[in-house]
Copies of this chain bind each other. A is one copy, B any other.
Amino acid sequence: MSTSGRGLHGRVLETLGPAITAGEYPPGSVLRTDELAQRFDVSRSVMREAVRVLESMHLVESRRRVGVTVRPKAEWNVYDPQVIRWRLAGADRPHQLRSLTVLRSAIEPVAAGLAAKHATAEQCAELTECALGMVANSKGHRLEGYLFHDIAFHRVILNASGNEMFARLGDVVAEVLTGRTRHEVMFEDPDPAAVTLHVRLAEAIRAGDAGHAEALTREIAEGALHELDILAP
């Protein structure tokens, strides 16, 4: 499930990363490696490795004679899956969820259009299978089953788009959908209209109708954005 946690430095990151992304240390805050090493009861080497990772995510900057300073939020590598996970686990989870949903609304329609052109027969079959799975789990509070097929559905489209940048957003979409199901809305069965849209989208892609696929995905995205507006207008 979670990527890090392997090794001592991973253990440190698991608490330091979320703390920084949660804004616990305001931008400009200065940390010292030695002090951190003591606090986490690890050697300086381990601490240095952790700091290097944070630095590569642009969360902090390490300078001689100064220490490890926290960078302003605007400079963070917000596309780093680890950073996304930390932020989704923290206080500004709603804000982050909205940002990511807007991102999805921009990416997925274009990806679906490309998928209609490039999807292999196998991918089309998989897509139909996912859509059927969504239908089968759309009634009777079978949210986990629905979520599973929903994630797979969107992942197949992103992969089928043939664009590696799109494909790598599969994990992000998975996080957003999971978060929505488990923590935010969706206490009852999913919107039947959304289910129908997914079925029709699978069909449009199978038929190679790029324009239709793009339009249908825009409708799905509209629905997702609307859901957020209901929750936090």
Contact = CB atoms under 8 A, between A and B. Distances in A.
Interface of A: 9, 45, 48-49, 52-53, 55-57, 73-74, 76-82, 99-100, 102-103, 105-107, 109-111, 114, 163-168
A102 B166 CA distance: 9
Nearest to A63: B6
Nearest to A79: B79
Contacts of A111: 106
B74 A81 contact: no
B49 A102 contact: no
Contacts of A77: 79-81, 168
Nearest to A81: B77
B81 A166 contact: no
A164 B52 CA distance: 24
A111 B81 CA distance: 22
A50 to B, nearest CB: 8
Contact of A80 (B9, B45, B73, B80): B80
Given A48-B49, A53-B56, A79-B168, 4 more contacts: A56-B82, A77-B80, A99-B163, A103-B165
A14 to B, nearest CB: 13
